[in-house]
Structure 1
């Protein structure tokens, strides 16, 4: 049997004590009798909904008692300046369905309930549920149908949309938050989404930047939907990062983005823009027949070469081989990317392993694609950023909860996934940082 964490064991103990106390007191006898008689727990007329209705109405009555200064039925009620004035009906949407509440009123009209405020038609827990469903990739209409079919709660398309818009300020704060002065490595990759643009729907690239700080921890720096092609867009992205505090970047790893190297070099003149080697290998293998793919592993001596001269010699050898003549596109891929590929060859093995690929961000994008794949298209760029941000938060929170459940277990008993990206420490970072301090001593040592 799997051992539970101390926190979970304590929580279960407290819950069991409360349940035992309620059973012993007889307070649950009538409820147990109704369950035994076959009455439903959830849905319309369910016991849980009835109990929540009773609890809320009792709390509202207590609030009114404090407001008017006397208990219901008090013989001296007429001596008070204000008095009770019946109730009004109000429908409130909750996680267990709609509840019809009797909201108490006062004669002077000055009572403002706190438990269910005026104008509020949903309990807070329902908002959290809707945002969580949205972050999981469900469309607004999917959520509308889900709430109606499972909870019997019928919320309009506009209401659900407004609920998801509640996070807009949080997203803006996150997207404009101050950043570190130095990120030794920044990875940049994109996922393709469909966005309505005027009267048409077209593919757009949602670019996600992940920075590695001097402690080796990864952070999502921002999300940008490419509105224009090339240098102008990338100049704006780099300027935004600089305005948020990024003073220097040592290495930027990306996949041959038009105009991006020039924008980086204009913002951080000493930065090295490195083509992702894995993307380059994929491009070289794009037109290779499946039966030849294993043989085309002859490309390995190129990207594992000791230096640029050795890599060029390996490329020329492959070009002259039978496979090279059969697949000239594979050779062309390396020739086209050569200037942005060769900086990688100047680094020692420990550092090469860190910048070899954007896989750390690709694993993030893989999870995000699972969220976006069921979407038809987004109404605008802001909706793309909203969903991707919520999805990242949702995935990280879920993984954190899973790890918390396994806290206290032996390592061989833990099955929860580690951090997706945010706060994840780069493998072998200490060795890579040592090499960076040797390669860029005047730029990195002052931040250590």
Structure 2
């Protein structure tokens, strides 16, 4: 096989498309790569293929064939040989490693999903790749482990992280010959530039206070700072860990989780109208209206449902913590719903596995998903505007203009300072 030094793109493309064979992309890729290598070899020789020139410094001496694994399949590339010295296309091939980096990711993902080596070989053969060894799979997995470990331990130096959301997912792992539930503790935050970040991932045996305390201590040790609000469910260990590691941060009880808790305390026949009353609280235009409507809800249920009224009154400060921040942010901070898409993506991958063989494989898969999502968030549009973030970081001060001891919210301090 010889690699021509030039091709007519129009004629070549028309010829290939007219054939419309199943290997069209592979054939076209082979031709283009061989043409590029031929042109590169011509520049090394100082003259074109078959051309007589005084500037020639070397001559061709045939070709040596190498298999090159690509996403289009394994192709046969013809590397030009020289009479003096050697030519190797470092811009295309890595010595003793010819697989594309993208292909490495695909095969590593198959490994993560629990696909056996035999099934994986069939999979890559269907993609046109002819060989895959167990050692290659092990190297790919180790490479991915290193990337995930680096991501999980990176410094959190893009703060202050004004808003943080914490959640946990229950997954199944095989340990000691039996299947047990473990908890993947997750935290996301909004950095100083207004972008969301994946802050951390840890896997614990139980979602208890010790697990959450260790998790948040790790986050603060890596640089988590400037937190004004943490949104989560009402897990006692989680709330205690927030208070112990993030002094000055307010806790917002997720409105979605709270609605589920309130439903459990409400008679089934009464839940539709209680739910409607609860939702009316969040539909108010400003903080004062939210608190006034909450009072009306308490009055509406006090006589008929005293236990529901007590439940609401006890949770009031935690459920309405979002009202201390600008109205533009309420939908992003009053619940963990913005993180549901992330949770669904994790579940989509982990459901394929079902039961993980060990914790390392769980961390490898979930960590890879989180690292991928983190990159998308950082490279995408801002989650929150810089101006509203700046207003959110203004410290609330006591209102000394009257007899009331209520505090002025962060949005109200700006005109007071300028007065």
In the alignment, what sits opposite 2:384? 425
Gaps of at least 5 residues in structure 2 are 1-5, 398-407, 415-419
Shift of 1:279: 0.6
**Counterpart check, 1:251 vs 2:229:** yes
Shift of 1:434: 7.6
When normalised by structure 1's length, the TM-score is 0.64
Is the contact made by 2:188 and 2:196 (CA closer than 8 Å) also made in structure 1?
yes
Count of residues paired in the alignment:
383
**Counterpart check, 1:120 vs 2:97:** yes
Is the contact made by 1:308 and 1:342 (CA closer than 8 Å) also made in structure 2?
no
**Counterpart check, 1:341 vs 2:322:** no
Superposition map of 1:20-419 within 5 A: 28-29=10-11, 32-33=14-15, 35-36=17-18, 39-43=19-23, 46=24, 48-61=25-38, 87-104=63-80, 111-114=87-90, 115-127=92-104, 146-151=123-128, 155-156=132-133, 159=136, 162-163=139-140, 166-175=143-152, 176-213=154-191, 216-227=194-205, 229-286=207-264, 292-297=270-275, 300=278, 318=301, 320-321=303-304, 338=315, 341=318, 344=321, 347=324, 350=327, 355-378=333-356, 379=358, 380=360, 381-392=362-373
* SS of alignment partner, residue 227 of structure 2: strand
Q: Distance in 1 between matches of 2:323 and 2:200?
A: 29
Q: Distance in 1 between matches of 2:61 and 2:193?
A: 63
Is the contact made by 2:61 and 2:83 (CA closer than 8 Å) also made in structure 1?
yes
Q: Distance in 2 between matches of 1:256 and 1:390?
A: 27
The CA deviation string for residues 182-205 of structure 1, in whole angstroms up to 9 with x for no partner, is 333211123333334454443333
Q: Distance in 2 between matches of 1:393 and 1:40?
A: 40
Q: Distance in 2 between matches of 1:92 and 1:345?
A: 56
Is the contact made by 1:88 and 1:103 (CA closer than 8 Å) also made in structure 2?
yes
In the alignment, what sits opposite 1:18? none
Q: Distance in 1 between matches of 2:296 and 2:274?
A: 16
Bigger relative contact order, structure 1 or 2 (CA pairs below 8 A, ≥6 apart): 1
Q: Distance in 1 between matches of 2:331 and 2:94?
A: 56
Gaps of at least 5 residues in structure 1 are 1-21, 401-418
* SS of alignment partner, residue 249 of structure 1: coil
* SS of alignment partner, residue 258 of structure 2: helix
Q: Distance in 2 between matches of 1:143 and 1:291?
A: 54
1:61–1:30 CA distance, 2 compared to 1 (3 A): closer
When normalised by structure 2's length, the TM-score is 0.68
The CA deviation string for residues 228-271 of structure 1, in whole angstroms up to 9 with x for no partner, is 54233222222222222233422222112342233222223332
Is the contact made by 2:188 and 2:198 (CA closer than 8 Å) also made in structure 1?
yes
Q: Distance in 2 between matches of 1:26 and 1:69?
A: 23
Shift of 1:166: 4.2
Q: Distance in 2 between matches of 1:27 and 1:361?
A: 48
In the alignment, what sits opposite 2:400? none
Q: Distance in 2 between matches of 1:35 and 1:314?
A: 69
